[in-house]
């Protein structure tokens, strides 16, 4: 393991001055806490300040959230710089060791080269999203809540990134679930939004639970929740180093890793959990940008990266991860091609790209070479994050201009609104992995990983699946990007018909008005929001320079054949799409696909339905079953005891000589109630009666006796009838006496 | 202060008791002498003073020990140790909350008696938590149950509440506890809990029987599956104040009693019955989650959530490790905070909606009352163990504890229970999703709901500060649990260290 040393703020020569009343011996210190703390605390502080301090002003909320997000970027960059300089990981404590008995819970943070890079990415995109959201939700009365939720999401993600403790990882991870739910459900007045939000919550809670159990299974046998500690534990006793794992421990390790993988798959929207992600496009654009660029992929990748050394110890877990990632890569790309809604297509593309990142991680885990870290995966994560953020923000901007994200609404709009051309083009190129964008470079790194993985004899089914999926992803990604671009950028009929050049006066003024309208619409975006898009564009183009910084290790060897072949395949795929789009009015190549198939693809191939039939309905049936059992069986016994108490109470009551008239009446009522069943053995309640029925049945004597007579009701019915109160009290006492009698019987039995 | 130290601990118990009795007697003899507001003020002041007296008692480490029932060798022995400190303050805070939210105006008959009863229950609950004598503890617990039944019945929101099952189960349960305790004290020759906790005092002979007896009794009070049926029912019909006391005082005292009467003196007995206890707890989590998923009544859902949390706590205790015990104590405080917050919010909604039936179309809380909605979201999030809020640690801790149980426990079974509990947690997540959809989101704005900060005729008294403080507590426990865990760590190690 990399040895860790504590890195703190540098000692700036702050001039010491004395505060009156504190004496000369109390100097003003540097910023308290470690930079890692500030990385997490800044977004949290932004959210808290917004909730507590800001009443109505969206402006103040924006300053808090975007400002603190910017500071977080600065801290992340500083951390990346210092960690890169020192080459060691920085470590810091948090709230102190949790005294959890036998389990050691140090709750520490740790940031190394890779984590620092991811932290910078997360902080940057969080900042961009905050700035963009200020414009996008300008008129939204709930902007404050939205901005603070984005801040909380960023904080959770950053905590996850820098966590070196299973508990902190779980905390960050579960914060993300709830924050994602709130972000997706932002427009909570719409039913579709609520549906997709609650589905997201349920599926991510399943992922949470799997991760919880998996991490607990890994941490508890190790006796520590420190990730460094548990990795040391599990790798320290592996067969390679001579110490054998017991059979039981091997099983525990495998089970834990499989559960972690399940959690990761759920979070990264991989097969078979992918269904919630396409629905999440109901969220406001800035939220989807954050979600798809870093939350979904980043969180999953970070957890796997921290367990990368342990992962290969369970073939089952690796194989499962590899196959799910491969299926998602190919399936996501295929579905992305077909979607009639471009935002939804981008969502499917996220599933596909996340599959690539996870696949690259599998390759990294399997290469036994300790020098090769998860650099390929992290580079692709960065490329994907920047590209997806750019695309989602731009498509959100387009949606504002055109009123929707369906192909019909977006057809030709990149030609109409010239400002979105460049961001769209660069984003799509980067996703497709065309040189010289960052996407190309990350793709090259991954290909390098793949090549290396092909070399050793140990290339198992997992490696083959991943490499096949990567190979298939190259043309498929190029195809869906090309299709989207053709849809966006083709000449609309209005502009392309040559006859229109000779239009008469009115139509010309129409065109002019439209041109003015377009200009006004385009200029409606705030300059800051536009700046975010420009910044992301620059990052997408120049991001490849990361390879030449110490942030990434780039000692990969890529064969020239692959380097040439990959772009060739992309060009071929793009050309095929172009050919297919000829003759379609909207230039939508996907229109060639038969309608029923396209419709099925739009609905995610019926996975949602499958969930409903296979999971939701049985669970609901079970829940109703539990309610019935609870009411009729478990409570039935209790009520039966209640009857017994009544009866014995009544028997005592009858023997009471001083029974008043009213009381006999009560007794008669009760007797008539019970007479049908016979005094001695009152049967159990009719099974299947409704709850109210059941309740009335047992409380029958009680209710008849004091429908208007219970203490409370008696008070209400002023003037109070003394005898009524008396009767009510007498009834209660009867129950009490009965209970005591039964208890005595029980005592005798014991 | 030159007051003798024992005075403070006596004061902490007698002050609320006497005030309570005074209020009840005043109300019953001279009706209408005390208005609702006055009664509430007196009760709040008394509960605050109780808290103060407790604080002084904790600082001065006060103890009182006088002979009480010589024949049974029962002593009136009160004292505080590190395990009971968080729980005692939890109970005291719950009593204050129950007083502070008061009673809705339209149910204000016998206001002073209502508040007096709350104080009496509080005093009895504190006695149960402070008792250093087993018989005293069991008696106080039984008294709490009976007093709670009176309160729940007399201050019901329904005209004819069905509270018989509560009385039956709870009285039966506390009687079993008393029986078990008397058996033990008879065989050990003393009822002193400190003596019980030291090894060798209680023989290993019939530990299993007695532990089972006491645990069955306490399981009804906590409540634990399958003896839980009273809880949703009582939460549904009792006033918010009664529900607060059930979650904050009765459950707290019952978990505390488990630690005092079973974990510490009967380690072997507990080890034998632990699989059954853990099974009941794990099933309880899933059971409560599933039942809440299709439950129509919001107040009953709160009851189910409470059952789920307490089941997690019992799962942690039954694991028999120090981790489990630490989690159980922290979890009990967290449970009280979260459920009391939920109860207060749901109680307010009940006042405003007129019922807690979820099948009726209501205004979306987020649209109609954003602040109330925010508090509701926070409470539901805390109930489903979102990090940063109180419930998180119960979840992580009890699963960890169950994954590696203490000595004399079958690992495989406990791992199965951990898996079951995790499944229950997923179902609870689904319950949260459902609650959010049914109560919080949507586009309806009618019928009107009065938001926090806006005082309406049907809102509870002191609702806003109470909710605010409870939110703060929930966040504080969630962010900085070390405060409580550090407090109890040594004492817990001492208790678990007794295990051979």
CA–CA gap between residue A464 and residue A470 (Å, rounded) = 10
Give contacts of A189 with chain B, Cβ < 8 Å: 364, 367, 441-443
The predicted-structure confidence for B47-101, as pLDDT tens digits, reads as follows 999 999 999 888 888 888 888 887 777 888 888 888 889 999 999 999 999 998 8
Nearest CA in chain B to A619: B290
B443: distance to nearest CA of chain A, Å? 4
CA–CA gap between residue A727 and residue A371 (Å, rounded) = 86
- Contact of A58 with A143, CB cutoff 8 Å: yes
The pLDDT assigned to B476 comes to: 93
Q: Is the pLDDT of residue B1 over 60?
A: no
Torsion angles phi and psi, residue A679, rounded to 5: -70, -45
Give contacts of B480 with chain A, Cβ < 8 Å: 95
The pLDDT assigned to A132 comes to: 92
Least confident of A153-157, A562-566, B7-11, B25-29: A562-566
The pLDDT assigned to B259 comes to: 92
Cα dist. B2→A456, B50, B148 in Å? 82, 19, 37
Count of Cβ atoms closer than 10 Å to residue A513 Cβ: 10
Task: State which of A19-33, A632-646, B423-437 shows the largest mean pLDDT.
Answer: B423-437
Mean pLDDT over B302-312 rounds to 95
The pLDDT assigned to B193 comes to: 85
Q: Is the pLDDT of residue B289 over 90?
A: yes
Top pLDDT among A142 and A544 is at A142
The pLDDT assigned to A563 comes to: 78
Top pLDDT among A20 and A595 is at A595
Count of Cβ atoms closer than 10 Å to residue A613 Cβ: 11
Top pLDDT among A533 and A503 is at A533
Residues 6 or more apart in contact with residue A137 via CB below 8 angstroms? A58, A143, A146, A284, A286
Q: For residue A628, name the pLDDT band (cuts at 50, 70, 90).
A: confident
Mean pLDDT over A23-49 rounds to 73
Strand extents, DSSP E, B291-367 = none
The pLDDT assigned to A14 comes to: 46
B400: distance to nearest CA of chain A, Å? 6
Top pLDDT among A34 and B51 is at B51
Torsion angles phi and psi, residue A569, rounded to 5: -60, -40
The pLDDT assigned to B475 comes to: 93
Least confident of A68-77, A461-470, B28-37, B283-292: B28-37
Count of Cβ atoms closer than 10 Å to residue B71 Cβ: 5
Q: Is the pLDDT of residue A687 over 70?
A: no
The pLDDT > 70 percentage for chain A reads 75
Count of Cβ atoms closer than 10 Å to residue B33 Cβ: 11
Give contacts of B363 with chain A, Cβ < 8 Å: none
For chains A and B, CB pairs below 8 A equal 220
Average pLDDT over chain B reads 87
The predicted-structure confidence for A412-437, as pLDDT tens digits, reads as follows 788 888 888 889 999 999 998 887 88
Least confident of A4-13, A289-298, A323-332, A349-358: A4-13
Structure-token pair, residue B328:
């159980």
Mutation for testing the B interface, residue in A52, A97, A99, A224 having most B CBs under 10 Å:
A99
Task: State which of A156-160, A219-223, A549-553, A612-616 shows the largest mean pLDDT.
Answer: A156-160
Least confident of A302-306, B23-27, B214-218: B23-27
ω into residue B226 within 30 of 0, thus cis? Answer: yes
Q: For residue A693, name the pLDDT band (cuts at 50, 70, 90).
A: very low
Q: Is the pLDDT of residue A127 over 80?
A: yes
Structure-token pair, residue A709:
């007579």
Cα dist. A423→A111, A259, A398, A419 in Å? 33, 39, 11, 8
The predicted-structure confidence for A712-740, as pLDDT tens digits, reads as follows 433 333 333 444 444 445 555 656 666 66
Torsion angles phi and psi, residue B441, rounded to 5: -100, 165
Give contacts of A700 with chain B, Cβ < 8 Å: none
Nearest to A162 by CA among A7, A358, A370: A7
The predicted-structure confidence for A391-403, as pLDDT tens digits, reads as follows 999 998 888 888 7
The pLDDT assigned to A18 comes to: 42
The predicted-structure confidence for B239-278, as pLDDT tens digits, reads as follows 888 999 999 999 999 999 999 999 988 888 898 899 999 9
Mean pLDDT over A255-260 rounds to 93
Q: For residue A350, name the pLDDT band (cuts at 50, 70, 90).
A: very high
B388 phi-psi bin (left φ>0, alpha ψ -120 to 50, beta other): left
Question: Which residues share a beta bridge with A103?
Answer: A100
The pLDDT assigned to A124 comes to: 93
The three-class DSSP label of residue B310 is: helix
- Contact of B339 with B223, CB cutoff 8 Å: no
Q: For residue A246, name the pLDDT band (cuts at 50, 70, 90).
A: low
Please judge whether A101 and B426 are an interchain contact, meaning their C-beta atoms are less than 8 angstroms apart: no
Mean pLDDT over A524-533 rounds to 84
The pLDDT assigned to A22 comes to: 40
**What is the 8-class DSSP label of residue B160?**
S
The pLDDT assigned to A493 comes to: 53
CA–CA gap between residue B398 and residue B421 (Å, rounded) = 9
Per-residue b or e along A56-92, where b marks 16 or more CB atoms closer than 10 Å to that residue's CB: eebeebbbbbbebbbbbbebbebbbebbeeeebbbbb
User: Which position has the token pair 């295929």?
Assistant: A334
Please judge whether A102 and B322 are an interchain contact, meaning their C-beta atoms are less than 8 angstroms apart: yes
Q: For residue A352, name the pLDDT band (cuts at 50, 70, 90).
A: very high
Mean pLDDT over A166-188 rounds to 92
ω into residue B385 within 30 of 0, thus cis? Answer: no
Please judge whether A220 and B400 are an interchain contact, meaning their C-beta atoms are less than 8 angstroms apart: yes
A713 interface with B at CB cutoff 8 Å: yes
Question: Which residues share a beta bridge with B66?
Answer: B76
B153, B403, B434 ranked by CB distance to A216: nearest: B403
Angle (CA) A438 A443 A446, round 5°: 130
The pLDDT assigned to A701 comes to: 39
A735 interface with B at CB cutoff 8 Å: yes
The predicted-structure confidence for A478-496, as pLDDT tens digits, reads as follows 999 999 998 888 875 544 4
Q: What is the pTM of this model?
A: 0.86
| Crossing angle (nearest 10°) for helices B207-221 and B164-188 | 150
The pLDDT assigned to A517 comes to: 66
Q: Is the pLDDT of residue A691 over 50?
A: no
Structure-token pair, residue B243:
């529900």
The pLDDT assigned to B456 comes to: 63
Torsion angles phi and psi, residue B462, rounded to 5: 50, 30
B268: distance to nearest CA of chain A, Å? 20
CA–CA gap between residue B311 and residue A712 (Å, rounded) = 33
Least confident of A104-108, A638-642, B398-402: A638-642
The three-class DSSP label of residue B280 is: helix
Least confident of A610-624, B195-209, B291-305, B401-415: B195-209
What's the Rg (C-alpha) of chain A?
Answer: 33
The pLDDT assigned to A606 comes to: 80
Beta-sheet strand order (sheet of A108-111): A4-5, A89-93, A108-111
Mean pLDDT over A108-131 rounds to 91
Residues 6 or more apart in contact with residue B126 via CB below 8 angstroms? B12, B13, B16, B50, B54, B88, B91, B92
ω into residue A719 within 30 of 0, thus cis? Answer: yes
B239: distance to nearest CA of chain A, Å? 12
CA–CA gap between residue A304 and residue A310 (Å, rounded) = 9
Count of Cβ atoms closer than 10 Å to residue B208 Cβ: 16
Least confident of A291-295, A553-557, B154-158, B206-210: A553-557
Least confident of A651-660, B98-107, B188-197: A651-660
A666 phi-psi bin (left φ>0, alpha ψ -120 to 50, beta other): alpha
Q: For residue B431, name the pLDDT band (cuts at 50, 70, 90).
A: very high
Residues 6 or more apart in contact with residue A264 via CB below 8 angstroms? A207, A211, A270, A300, A303, A304, A321, A358
B161, B294, B396 ranked by CB distance to A623: nearest: B294
Q: For residue A557, name the pLDDT band (cuts at 50, 70, 90).
A: low
Task: State which of A141-155, A220-234, A266-280, B109-123 shows the largest mean pLDDT.
Answer: A141-155
CA–CA gap between residue A106 and residue A624 (Å, rounded) = 43
B176, B326, B443 ranked by CB distance to A100: nearest: B326
The pLDDT assigned to A732 comes to: 56
Mutation for testing the B interface, residue in A48, A97, A98, A273 having most B CBs under 10 Å:
A98
- Contact of B298 with B345, CB cutoff 8 Å: no
Strands A89-93 and A4-5: parallel
Cα dist. B374→A180, B355, B377, B436, B444 in Å? 16, 21, 5, 11, 17
Q: Please, what is the end-to-end C-alpha distance for chain B in angstroms?
A: 44
Q: What's the length of chain B?
A: 500
Alpha-carbon dihedral B36, B40, B43, B44, rounded to 10 degrees: -170
Least confident of A281-290, A298-307, A700-709, B243-252: A700-709
Q: Is the pLDDT of residue A696 over 70?
A: no
Please judge whether B381 and A178 are an interchain contact, meaning their C-beta atoms are less than 8 angstroms apart: yes
Q: Is the pLDDT of residue A707 over 60?
A: no
Mean pLDDT over B5-34 rounds to 85
Average pLDDT over chain A reads 78
CA–CA gap between residue A158 and residue A152 (Å, rounded) = 10
Please judge whether A710 and B441 are an interchain contact, meaning their C-beta atoms are less than 8 angstroms apart: no
Cα dist. B469→B95, B120, B331 in Å? 14, 24, 19
Q: For residue A564, name the pLDDT band (cuts at 50, 70, 90).
A: confident
Residues 6 or more apart in contact with residue A180 via CB below 8 angstroms? A153, A200, A201, A204, A280, A291, A295
- Contact of A131 with A529, CB cutoff 8 Å: yes
Please judge whether B418 and A736 are an interchain contact, meaning their C-beta atoms are less than 8 angstroms apart: no
The three-class DSSP label of residue A356 is: helix
A100, A174, A715 ranked by CB distance to B387: nearest: A174
A624, A626, A743 ranked by CB distance to B287: nearest: A626
Nearest to B386 by CA among A363, A87, A179: A179
The pLDDT assigned to A554 comes to: 65
Q: Is the pLDDT of residue A667 over 80?
A: no
Please judge whether A642 and B164 are an interchain contact, meaning their C-beta atoms are less than 8 angstroms apart: yes
Mean pLDDT over A35-48 rounds to 89
Give contacts of B357 with chain A, Cβ < 8 Å: none
Strands B63-69 and A98-100: unpaired
The pLDDT assigned to A224 comes to: 87
Nearest CA in chain B to A152: B388
Q: Is the pLDDT of residue A555 over 70?
A: no
The pLDDT assigned to B105 comes to: 58
The three-class DSSP label of residue B339 is: helix
The pLDDT assigned to A514 comes to: 65
């Amino acid at each position: 393991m990399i040895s860790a040393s504590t890195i703190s703020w540098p000692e700036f020569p702050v001039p010491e001055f004395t505060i009156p009343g504190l004496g000369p011996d109390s100097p003003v210190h540097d910023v308290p806490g470690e930079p890692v703390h500030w990385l997490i605390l800044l977004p949290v502080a932004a959210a808290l300040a917004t909730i507590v301090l800001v009443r109505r002003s969206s402006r103040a909320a924006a300053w808090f959230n975007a400002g603190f997000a910017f500071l977080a970027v600065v801290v992340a960059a500083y951390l990346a710089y210092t960690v890169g300089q020192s080459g060691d990981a920085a470590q810091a404590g948090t709230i102190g060791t949790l005294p959890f008995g036998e389990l050691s819970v140090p709750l520490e943070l740790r940031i190394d080269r890779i984590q620092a890079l991811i932290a910078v990415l997360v902080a940057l995109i969080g900042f961009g999203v905050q700035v963009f959201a200020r414009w996008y939700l300008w008129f939204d009365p709930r902007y404050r809540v939205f901005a603070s939720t984005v801040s909380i999401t960023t904080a959770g993600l950053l905590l996850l990134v820098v966590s070196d403790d299973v508990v902190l990882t779980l905390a960050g991870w579960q914060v993300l679930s709830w924050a994602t739910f709130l972000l997706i459900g932002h427009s909570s007045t719409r039913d579709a939004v609520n549906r997709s939000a609650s589905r997201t919550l349920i599926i991510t809670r399943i992922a949470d639970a799997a991760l919880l159990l998996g991490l607990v299974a890994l941490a508890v046998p190790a006796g520590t929740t420190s990730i460094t500690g548990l990795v040391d534990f599990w790798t320290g006793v592996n067969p390679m180093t001579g110490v054998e794992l017991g059979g039981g421990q091997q099983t525990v390790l495998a089970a834990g890793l499989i559960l972690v993988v399940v959690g990761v798959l759920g979070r990264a929207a991989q097969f078979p959990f992918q269904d919630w992600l396409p629905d999440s496009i109901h969220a406001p654009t800035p939220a989807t940008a954050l979600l798809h660029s870093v939350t979904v992929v980043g969180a999953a990748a970070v957890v796997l990266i921290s367990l990368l050394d342990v992962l290969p110890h369970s073939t089952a877990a690796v194989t499962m991860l590899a196959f799910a990632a491969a299926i998602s890569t190919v399936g996501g790309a295929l579905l992305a091609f077909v979607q009639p809604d471009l935002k939804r297509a981008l969502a499917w593309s996220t599933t596909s790209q996340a599959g690539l990142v996870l696949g690259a991680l599998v390759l990294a885990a399997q290469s036994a070479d300790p020098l090769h870290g998860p650099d390929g995966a992290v580079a692709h994560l960065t490329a994907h994050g920047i590209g997806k953020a750019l695309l989602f923000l731009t498509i959100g901007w387009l949606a504002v201009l055109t009123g929707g994200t369906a192909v019909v609404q977006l057809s030709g709009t990149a030609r109409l609104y010239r400002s979105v051309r460049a961001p769209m083009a660069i984003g799509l190129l980067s996703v497709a992995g065309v040189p010289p964008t960052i996407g190309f470079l990350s793709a090259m790194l991954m290909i390098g990983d793949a090549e290396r993985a092909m070399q050793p004899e140990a290339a198992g089914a997992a490696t083959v699946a991943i490499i096949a999926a990567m190979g298939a992803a190259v043309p498929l990604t190029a195809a869906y990007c090309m299709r989207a671009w053709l849809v966006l950028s083709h000449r609309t009929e209005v502009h392309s018909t040559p006859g229109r050049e000779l239009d008469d006066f009115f139509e010309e003024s129409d065109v002019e008005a439209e041109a003015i309208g377009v200009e006004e619409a385009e200029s409606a975006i705030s300059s800051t929001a536009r700046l975010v898009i420009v910044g992301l564009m620059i990052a997408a183009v120049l991001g490849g320079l990361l390879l030449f910084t110490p942030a990434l290790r780039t000692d990969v060897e890529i064969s020239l054949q692959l380097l040439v072949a990959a772009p060739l395949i992309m060009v071929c795929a793009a050309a095929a799409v172009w050919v297919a789009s000829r003759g379609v009015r909207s230039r939508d190549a996907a229109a060639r696909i038969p309608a029923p198939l396209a419709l099925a693809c739009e609905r995610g191939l019926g996975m949602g339905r499958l969930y409903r039939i296979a999971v939701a309905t049985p669970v609901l049936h079970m829940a109703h079953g539990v309610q019935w059992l609870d009411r009729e069986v478990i409570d039935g016994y209790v009520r039966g005891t209640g009857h017994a108490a009544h009866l014995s109470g009544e028997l005592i009551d009858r023997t009471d000589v001083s029974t008043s008239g009213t009381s006999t009446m009560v007794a008669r009522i009760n007797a008539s109630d019970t007479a049908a069943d016979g005094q001695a053995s009152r049967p159990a309640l009719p099974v299947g009666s409704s709850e109210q029925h059941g309740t009335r049945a047992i409380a029958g004597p009680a209710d008849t006796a004091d429908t208007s007579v219970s203490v409370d009701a008696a008070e209400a019915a002023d003037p109070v009838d003394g005898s009524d109160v008396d009767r009510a009290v007498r009834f209660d006492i009867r129950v009490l006496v009965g209970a005591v009698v039964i208890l005595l019987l029980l005592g005798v039995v014991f | 202060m030159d007051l003798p130290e024992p005075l403070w601990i006596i004061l902490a118990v007698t002050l609320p008791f006497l005030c309570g009795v005074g209020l009840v007697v005043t109300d019953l003899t001279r009706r209408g002498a005390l208005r609702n507001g006055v009664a509430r003020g007196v009760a709040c002041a008394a509960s605050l003073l109780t808290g103060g007296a407790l604080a002084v008692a904790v600082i001065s480490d006060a103890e009182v020990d006088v002979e009480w029932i010589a024949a049974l060798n029962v002593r009136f022995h009160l004292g505080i140790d590190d395990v009971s400190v968080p729980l005692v303050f939890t109970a005291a805070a719950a009593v204050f909350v129950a007083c502070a939210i008061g009673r809705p105006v339209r149910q204000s008959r016998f206001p002073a008696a209502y508040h007096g009863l709350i104080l009496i229950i509080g005093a009895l609950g504190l006695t149960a938590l402070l008792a250093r004598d087993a018989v005293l503890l069991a008696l106080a617990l039984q008294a709490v149950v009976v007093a709670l039944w009176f309160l729940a019945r007399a201050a019901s929101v329904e005209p004819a509440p069905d509270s018989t099952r509560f009385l039956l189960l709870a009285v039966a349960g506390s009687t079993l506890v008393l029986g078990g305790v008397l058996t033990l004290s008879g065989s050990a020759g003393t009822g002193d809990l400190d003596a019980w906790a030291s090894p060798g005092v209680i023989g290993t002979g019939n530990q299993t029987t007695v532990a089972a007896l006491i645990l069955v009794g306490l399981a009804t009070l906590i409540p634990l599956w399958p003896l839980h049926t009273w809880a949703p029912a009582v939460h549904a019909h009792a006033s918010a104040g009664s529900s607060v006391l059930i979650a904050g005082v009765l459950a707290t005292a019952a978990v505390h009693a488990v630690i005092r009467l079973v974990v510490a003196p009967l380690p072997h007995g507990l080890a034998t019955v632990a699989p059954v206890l853990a099974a009941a707890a794990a099933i309880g989590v899933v059971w409560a989650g599933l039942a809440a998923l299709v439950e129509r009544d919001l107040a009953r859902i709160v009851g189910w959530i409470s059952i789920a949390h307490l089941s997690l706590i019992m799962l942690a205790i039954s694991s028999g490790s120090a981790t489990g015990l630490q989690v159980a104590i922290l979890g009990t405080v967290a449970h009280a905070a979260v459920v009391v917050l939920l109860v207060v919010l749901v109680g307010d909604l009940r006042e405003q909606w007129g019922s807690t039936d979820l099948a009726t179309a209501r205004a979306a809380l987020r649209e109609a009352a954003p602040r109330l909605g925010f508090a509701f979201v926070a409470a539901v999030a805390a109930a489903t163990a979102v990090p940063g809020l109180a419930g998180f640690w119960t979840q992580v801790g009890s699963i960890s504890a169950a994954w590696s149980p203490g000595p004399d426990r079958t690992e495989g079974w406990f791992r199965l229970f951990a898996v079951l509990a995790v499944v229950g947690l997923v179902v609870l997540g689904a319950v949260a999703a459902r609650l959010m959809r049914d109560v919080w989101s949507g586009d309806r704005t009618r019928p009107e709901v009065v938001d926090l900060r806006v005082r309406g005729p049907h809102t509870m008294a002191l609702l806003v500060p109470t909710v605010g403080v409870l939110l703060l507590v929930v966040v504080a426990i969630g962010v900085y649990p070390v405060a409580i865990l550090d407090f109890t760590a040594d004492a817990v190690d001492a208790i678990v260290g007794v295990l051979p």
